[in-house]
């Protein structure tokens, strides 16, 4: 069926709940209202109020209840309305969810999924447009996934829900409804811990995740008209990071541009660049470039476009890299 990203999320949730009665949805407004972006629309009517739970406006409570449920045989899927609201929940995610398997030496696991919209592009205040995924990636014991299209939304979300360990699923709000794809509701997940190669190329490796993947694909199309053959890699699984796919690509192209919505300092792009310097230094024909916003808080409304990387910025960075290679 032809669906957008938010509809694919709803489709995957319904599939998971149909397959496993232990899957429980909880969060602010996820039941009666169907979620702030309507990603859970219709689930309460279909599966009942005992499996789709509206909670108070308390992220600490949501995370704590979800961790407790996961130790008692349930598979909770908790929604945090925006990534900027997740910080109140970090105590439970860091101190309990991420450490439960290690703490009990494998006797207990934490099959918990946290869904949260992230990134800019909807002209909202900064707490609604955060891109602080690097903070989550630094937590040992957590897996972090970033969606980039309806197809990846369906397959990656199913994989996250079926995982025996806690997974944070980042949903790019800017492209929730920007385009549609054919998605087969067949219950097939996308394997965990592997980058997705959206486009093959030989001249340059373009790396991104979340909404920026679609911008990179547009840039790659424009660069092809200029004779630059770009390989586009969707990191998808931010933690653990599949470096082998990235290293293999850079070994072929010799050039690498990394695009992120997060500020440059301490971002995931810097981690990827550092690992490439360790493992693919002699394959690089030019320095690695990172396209990212400045180290400031995302501004409101019209200034948002000036802050976020644009397709033109990506094209410019790629051209500069290739054209200035000795």
Residue 272 CB contacts under 8 Å (≥ 6 apart), including other chains: 207, 235, 241, 243, 246, 258
Q: What pTM does this model have?
A: 0.96
Q: Are 178 and 4 in contact (CB under 8 A)?
A: yes
Q: Looking at 182, 210, 236, which one is the last position of a domain?
A: 182
Question: What percent of the chain clears pLDDT 90, i.e. is strictly above it?
Answer: 91
Do 155 and 206 have their domain in common? no
Do 135 and 45 have their domain in common? yes
Do 141 and 261 have their domain in common? no
Which is the catalytic residue, given 92, 96, 127, 128? 128
- Within-domain flag for 188: no
Do 7 and 39 have their domain in common? yes
Identify the DSSP state of 189. Answer: P
- Within-domain flag for 192: no
Q: Looking at 147, 182, 217, which one is the last position of a domain?
A: 182
Rounded Cα distance, 301 and 296, in Å? 15
Dihedral angle at the C-alpha atoms of 191, 267, 26, 41, nearest 10 degrees? -80
Q: Is 138 a catalytic residue?
A: no
Per-residue pLDDT at 193: 83
- Within-domain flag for 191: no
Q: Are 228 and 204 in contact (CB under 8 A)?
A: yes
C-alpha distances out from residue 215 to 167, 170, 323, Å: 25, 17, 21
Do 173 and 202 have their domain in common? no
Domain count, the chain: 2
Rounded Cα distance, 286 and 44, in Å? 53
- Within-domain flag for 190: no
Rounded Cα distance, 288 and 269, in Å? 10
Per-residue pLDDT at 7: 98
Q: Is the pLDDT of residue 191 over 90?
A: no
Q: Which domain CATH number covers 291?
A: 3.40.50.920
Do 66 and 129 have their domain in common? yes
- Within-domain flag for 74: yes
Q: Looking at 118, 150, 182, which one is the last position of a domain?
A: 182
Q: Which domain CATH number covers 17?
A: 3.40.50.970
- Structural domain harbouring 56: 2-182
- Within-domain flag for 29: yes
pLDDT band (50, 70, 90) for residue 269: very high
Is the pLDDT higher at 79 or at 304? 79
């Amino acid at each position: 069926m032809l669906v957008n990203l938010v509809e694919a999320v709803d489709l995957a949730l319904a599939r998971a709940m149909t397959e496993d009665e232990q899957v429980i949805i909880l969060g602010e407004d996820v039941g009666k209202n169907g979620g702030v972006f309507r990603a859970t629309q219709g689930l309460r009517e279909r599966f009942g109020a005992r499996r789709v739970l509206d909670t108070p406006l308390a992220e600490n409570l949501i995370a704590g209840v979800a961790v407790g449920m996961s130790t008692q045989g349930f598979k909770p899927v908790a929604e945090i309305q925006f990534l900027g609201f997740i910080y109140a929940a970090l105590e439970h995610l860091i101190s309990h969810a991420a450490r439960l398997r290690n703490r009990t030496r494998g006797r207990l696991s934490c099959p918990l999924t946290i869904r949260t919209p992230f990134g800019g592009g909807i002209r909202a205040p900064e707490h609604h447009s955060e891109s602080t995924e690097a903070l989550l990636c630094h937590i040992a014991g957590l897996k972090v996934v970033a969606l980039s299209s309806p197809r990846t939304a369906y397959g990656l979300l199913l994989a996250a829900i079926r995982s025996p360990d806690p997974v944070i699923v980042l949903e790019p709000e800017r492209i929730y409804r920007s385009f549609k794809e054919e998605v087969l509701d067949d219950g097939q997940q996308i394997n965990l811990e592997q980058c997705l190669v959206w486009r093959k190329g030989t001249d340059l490796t373009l790396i991104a995740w979340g909404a920026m993947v679609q911008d990179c694909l547009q840039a790659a199309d424009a660069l092809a008209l200029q004779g630059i053959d770009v390989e586009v890699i969707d990191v998808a699984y931010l933690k653990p990071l599949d470096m082998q796919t990235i290293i293999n690509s850079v070994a072929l192209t010799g050039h690498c541009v990394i695009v992120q919505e997060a500020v440059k300092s301490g971002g995931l792009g810097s981690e990827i660049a550092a690992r490439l310097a360790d493992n693919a230094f002699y394959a690089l024909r030019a320095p690695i470039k990172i396209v990212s916003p400045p180290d400031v808080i995302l501004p409101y409304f019209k200034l948002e476009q000036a802050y976020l990387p644009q397709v033109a910025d990506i094209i410019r960075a790629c051209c500069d890299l290739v054209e200035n290679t000795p």
